[in-house]
Amino acid sequence: MQRLSFLVKKFWLFSLSGLFILIVSCQSGNDSSTAKLPGATEGERLAQTYCGRCHLPVSPDALDKETWSKHVLPAMALKLGLEVWQKTHYYYPPTAAISQVDWLKLVDYYETLAPAKPKKATPPVKLMTDWSVFKLMKPAEQTNKLATTTMVTFDSARHQLYTSNESDAGLYQWNSALTPTLIQQLPSPAVQATFTADASGSPRVQLTCIGTMLAVDRPSGELLDIGLDKASTSAPVVLASQLPRPIQSVPGDFSKDGLTDWIVCGFGHEAGALYWLKQRPDHTFEKTVIKEVAGASQVISGDFNQDGWLDFMALFAHADEGIWLFTNDHKGGFSEKNLLRFPPVYGSTSFQLVDMNKDGRLDILYTCGDNSDYSRVLKPFHGVYIFTNQGSGQYKQTYFYPINGCTKAIAADFDLDGDLDIATIAFFGDLKNNPAETFIYFEQEKPVSFIPHAIPVSQYGRWISMDASDWDHDGDVDIVLGNYAPGFLNEVRFTPTWNGFLPFVVLENRRK
């Protein structure tokens, strides 16, 4: 599970939305920058002045009039120091960061140019409903416990599946028959796992425990080291504590001293940070802040400049959203460079580095769809994107498929035809009108051209987490989907139809 995370305000994977948007032509098929709008000169200037301080400024046509006037603008007013009463009346204390005159002009700009209804996206290819290369596997329903899965992850080396949940914060191991064993009671739900072995070869797992699912500034998250050997009865080793809602921890020897460090994404809420846990010779850790902003969601490490030192890329999904490259400076720090920047209402949720076009360079597979904050309407720019590597740190959008509330994408050669396919989940999909989009398998038929299969699993759960691996050791890649069943709906007068008691399902690949 990656922003979500995800992706309700309660969840780790969901960002606190920013408030304004600029859809840049290099990142979207539709250029709706403010410069294109007639009569927008004064409003555009004010947006640049007051909104551009924290994130990309905005296009009024990104959201509908009601969403702007009743939700986003009142929230923005508070951030500018105004007082708001009943979402329609504004008061201007002397300490406000904007004058009454400018605020009224800004409100008029958005309310005048915003569309009456939310825009809708038209998929370039319609969904094909079938099972494609997959077969459904289900554990027994736990009818006494509603599914609140926060993590699903394969340990393919040991033919095991692990889950955690919000209900009891347990770490569960599932064997090939999908029978569970409680491995450890955790202080809070685990949202991400890294499998390792100790010096004797005994299996261990490092778990990122979020601390609290609530969207609050409470630094109670931990990074734990737990033994998985049946003979192990020792308590978890705490590698780091007092972390602000951490959602991912990535190991690596970033200081080239032979010791494993960790980069931790402290997503937080209003406050958060990206941390470097540097291991000391006594095997304790020194916590250093790399970037002190909320919304750190995901990290991928690698020697990206090929200088022999470990670097990493990071996704930030709060206010100033985007992907940054952090290059190791060999001196105990990192220099940062922005690679891609996204508008705050995108709600960035995941990215993966993969060579989609087989040119030897890593491209970026990206998803956005966090939809749990101020603008809880379906958005035409939510979905899965491919940004092709142009070299020299430049990326060009070459693919987009609209998926409401898209949460995560994983690329792999699922059909074993020699190219990469894509699997996506959407926690905030169009649950009422198009539940099929909550899991889509994109079969690549030719370069950057996909057949989207709606695998019929929407009735079995609401998918908040996903992992993919050759779990059954038969030579093809299987998928597991984690179900967070209750609540957090944006739809009005809608009764969920999915199974609330299945913690997960496995999509067993039948290609081999």
Among 113, 142, 160, residue at a domain's last position: 113
Mean pLDDT of 375-382: 93
Kindly tell me if the per-residue pLDDT of 481 is higher than 90.
yes
Q: Yes or no: say if 267 and 297 are a contact pair by the CB < 8 Å rule.
A: yes
Q: Which two tokens stand for residue 201?
A: 């070869």
Q: Are residues 353 and 487 in the same domain?
A: yes
Q: Which of 56-60, 462-466, 496-500 has the lowest mean pLDDT?
A: 56-60
Q: Are residues 101 and 137 in the same domain?
A: no
Whether 426 is in a domain gets the answer yes
pLDDT score at 233: 66
Q: Could you tell me whether strands 237-243 and 221-227 are parallel, antiparallel, or unpaired per DSSP bridges?
A: antiparallel
Q: Are residues 57 and 157 in the same domain?
A: no
Q: Are residues 44 and 87 in the same domain?
A: yes
Whether 77 is in a domain gets the answer yes
Whether 362 is in a domain gets the answer yes
Mean pLDDT of 396-402: 98
Q: Give the count of domains, the chain.
A: 2
Q: Are residues 359 and 480 in the same domain?
A: yes
Dist CA 184 CA 45 (whole Å): 55
Mean pLDDT of 405-419: 97
Q: Could you tell me whether strands 348-354 and 246-252 are parallel, antiparallel, or unpaired per DSSP bridges?
A: unpaired
Q: Are residues 444 and 355 in the same domain?
A: yes
Q: Are residues 367 and 480 in the same domain?
A: yes
- Closest by Cα among 435, 509, 512, 510 to 468: 509
Q: How confident is the model at residue 136 (pLDDT cuts 50, 70, 90)?
A: very high
Q: How far is CA 472 from the centre of its chain?
A: 27
Kindly tell me if the per-residue pLDDT of 14 is higher than 60.
no
Dist CA 142 CA 383 (whole Å): 32
Q: How many CB atoms lie within 10 A of CB 339?
A: 17
Mean pLDDT of 36-51: 72
Q: Could you tell me whether strands 237-243 and 406-412 are parallel, antiparallel, or unpaired per DSSP bridges?
A: unpaired
Whether 292 is in a domain gets the answer no
Whether 451 is in a domain gets the answer yes
431 contacts: CB under 8 Å, gap ≥ 6? 438, 462, 489, 491, 494, 496
Mean pLDDT of 168-189: 94
Query: Residue 95's domain spans which residues?
Result: 39-113
Kindly tell me if the per-residue pLDDT of 320 is higher than 50.
yes
Beta bridge partners of 195: 205
Q: Which of 65-74, 350-359, 432-441 has the lowest mean pLDDT?
A: 65-74
Q: Yes or no: say if 382 and 368 are a contact pair by the CB < 8 Å rule.
A: yes
Whether 50 is in a domain gets the answer yes
**Which carries the bigger pLDDT value, residue 229 or residue 129?**
129
Dist CA 68 CA 74 (whole Å): 8
Kindly tell me if the per-residue pLDDT of 231 is higher than 90.
no
Beta bridge partners of 507: 136, 479
Beta bridge partners of 443: 451
Q: Which of 211-225, 229-243, 471-485 has the lowest mean pLDDT?
A: 229-243
Kindly tell me if the per-residue pLDDT of 6 is higher than 50.
no
Q: Are residues 441 and 492 in the same domain?
A: yes
pLDDT score at 42: 86
CA dihedral 277, 311, 22, 386 (to 10 degrees): -120
What proportion of the chain, given as a percentage, has pLDDT over 70? 91
Q: Yes or no: say if 149 and 467 are a contact pair by the CB < 8 Å rule.
A: no
Measured in Å, how far apart are the chain's first and last C-alpha atoms?
27
Whether 26 is in a domain gets the answer no
Q: How confident is the model at residue 232 (pLDDT cuts 50, 70, 90)?
A: low
pLDDT score at 141: 85
pTM of the model: 0.90
Q: How many CB atoms lie within 10 A of CB 470?
A: 16
Dihedral class, residue 363 (left if φ above 0, else alpha if ψ from -120 to 50, else beta)? beta
Q: Are residues 137 and 109 in the same domain?
A: no
475 contacts: CB under 8 Å, gap ≥ 6? 416, 512
pLDDT score at 124: 94
Q: Are residues 108 and 139 in the same domain?
A: no
Whether 195 is in a domain gets the answer no
